[in-house]
Amino acid sequence: MSRFEVLAHGALATEIVAGPGLTRQPVLPDRPGRHQVVVFTQPGTPRLIADGVAARLGVEHTVIELPDRDVAKRWGLVAELYESLAQRGMGRHDTIIGIGGGALTDVAGFVASTWLRGIEAVYVPTTVLGAIDAAIGGKTGINLAGKNLVGTFTHPGRVVVDTDILDALPVGLKREGWAEAIKAGFIADPELVALFEQFPENPPMVEVVDRAIAVKVDVVNRDFREAGQRMILNFGHTIGHGVEIAEGLSHGEAVAIGMVAAAELSTRKYGFDYPMSDVLGSMGLPVFSTADRNRVEELIWLDKKRDAKGLKMVLLDAVGSPRIDYVTQDEVAGGLAAIGLG
């Protein structure tokens, strides 16, 4: 088992544990005063996992199944969840456990961080993306007119990553997570990138998850509120987001395409030398977009990383060496050409 600590104001905010079989052990932190637990989960496999975890809690509990995916990240549903917490008399010392993918832990965290001005949250992420990204760093949120428009910066007390659950995921969900994992390697851990080069289709889960969590924890500990350093986590996301919306791709697939474009910009600006398309392609990730080019460009320039001086992107000097820089429309066009949007 590996253990990581996310700190806030110098104190322990989140304990993250990762390793095989961890949901077969009690997941709650040992703490006096807890009277009950509400478990939020998603339909399908996460529900089965949640029932197993709940059976081992040893404290009064209720399991509430939310709708799947981002349908759970709705204000109307959050209001209903507050009502059910009120009916159950959820108190300041009680705990909400979120068991599911990133959408589920985002909404569970949002409810926990706002109920009674904040009660303890524990996450059991059941997707790779959830485990190495969404569950770490304290961003909670729901969608309104746009994605994640309302949310809080509140760390969960504990995150339990059971790598056996992640090993059993369908290949498509695994691959989506691999895209975020190799991204962590590109910005901070060349050995993680080397693991994917060596085992592109079936990388060793425990080591990949440990390394990717370590990267995110390190970045978050240096920059909780995204003032500067945390932006490197957006490598591949500026052009990726454009493609995600314009083409309706999954987030992981879009990030892969975004990394190919960002690598091309990095080559043109700093001589970055890396066969990005070959490596991501060998992992089964897409490296070209078939979206409408103008729509993608429009979306890129609406990006929230744009300020008065222009659009900021995360680029690479070398694997593990990120640089944040302003890019011109011509440079972006070069990146788009590399993903088939010339």
* Interface with ligand NAD (CB under 6 A), residue from 133, 189, 264, 331: 133
Find the helix or strand (DSSP H, E) in which 15 lies: strand 11-19
- Amino acid found at 58: G
Binding footprint of ligand NAD, residue count (CB under 6 A) = 26
Give me 313's structure tokens: 């992107």
- Taking CB atoms, the residue at the shortest distance from ligand NAD is 102
Question: Is position 23 an interface residue for ligand NAD (rule: CB under 6 A)?
Answer: no
19-53 b/e with 16+ CB inside 10 Å = b? beebbeeebbeeeeebebbbbbbbeebbbebbeeb
The residue range among 3-11, 15-23, 39-47, 81-89 that interacts with ligand NAD, by the rule CB under 6 A, is: 39-47
**Under the criterion CB under 6 A, does residue 106 sit at the interface with ligand NAD?**
yes
Residue 319, C-beta contacts closer than 8 angstroms, at least 6 positions apart:
185, 186, 190, 193, 274
* 322: contact with ligand NAD by CB under 6 A: no
325 is an interface residue for ligand NAD by CB under 6 A: no
Residue whose CB is less far from ligand NAD, 13 or 338? 13
Closest CB to ligand NAD among residues 46, 322:
46
Does 102 sit near ligand NAD (CB under 6 A)?
yes
User: Per rule CB under 6 A, is residue 134 in the interface with ligand NAD?
Assistant: yes
234 lines the binding site for ligand NAD (CB under 6 A): no
156 touches ligand NAD by CB under 6 A: no
* Amino acid of residue 116: L
Contact status: 127 vs ligand NAD (CB under 6 A): yes
Q: What does the DSSP assignment read for 261-309?
A: HHHHHHHHHH-----HHHHHHHTT------S-HHHHHHHHHT-TTEETT
Residues 27 and 158 sit within 8 Å (Cβ to Cβ) = yes
**Is residue 188 within the footprint of ligand NAD (CB under 6 A)?**
no
Cα–chain-centroid distance for residue 89? 31
In the shown chain, the binding pattern of residues 56 to 85 toward ligand NAD, with x for contact by CB under 6 A and - for none, equals: ------------xxx--x------------
Would strands 306-307 and 60-65 be described as parallel, antiparallel, or unpaired? unpaired
- Shortest distance, CB of residue 233 to ligand NAD, whole angstroms? 9
Q: Which of 14, 113, 126, 266: binder of ligand NAD (CB under 6 A)?
A: 126
CA 112, distance to chain mean position in Å, is 18
Q: Does 223 interact with ligand NAD (rule: CB under 6 A)?
A: no
219 phi, psi to nearest 5 deg: -65, -45
* 41 in Cβ contact with 124 (< 8 Å): no
C-beta of 44 vs 190, nearer to ligand NAD: 44
Q: Which residues bind ligand NAD (CB under 6 A)?
A: 42, 44-46, 68-70, 73, 100-104, 106, 126-127, 129-130, 133-134, 137, 139, 148, 165, 169, 173
